[in-house]
Amino acid sequence: MSDINRMYEEAEKLKDEGRLEEATAKLEEILQLDETHVLSHMALAMLYSKMGKFEEAVQHGERACELEPDDALNFTALSVAYQRAYAGTQNLGFIQKAEEAMARAREIEGTPHRHH
């Protein structure tokens, strides 16, 4: 098992134990080693949302979508991050972005998957 996979499992365990600060630190550490690790970006989007760090949450959600633009799940998670950001900030711009991300997820789900 690669170091990154092991570290990601450790981060998941910390998250499950409610040790969010430690989990985010571990995930950020993974991204220092491999900035393209989509699962870490997705996990950070969720954790930062829970912690009320909405700017960071949205940045990680957006990065996951940039890295895997054909994955509907990433856009669904990004939409949730935007919705939480709106709930926390009352910034209406987040609602529009949430709707756009959800529309993109539906669009992807409606298209046959291309094989690389």
Share of the chain above pLDDT 70, in %: 95
Distance separating alpha carbons of residues 88 and 14, to the nearest angstrom: 24
Total H helices, total E strands in the chain = 6, 0
Q: What is the pLDDT of residue 2?
A: 87
Query: Any idea what the Cα angle at residue 26 is, between residues 5 and 76, rounded to 5°?
Result: 75
List of domains in the chain: 3-109 (1.25.40.10)
As a whole number of angstroms, the distance between CA 97 and CA 5 comes to: 31
- Cβ 77 vs Cβ 46: under 8 Å: yes
Tell me the pLDDT tens digit for each residue of 76-90: 999 999 999 999 999
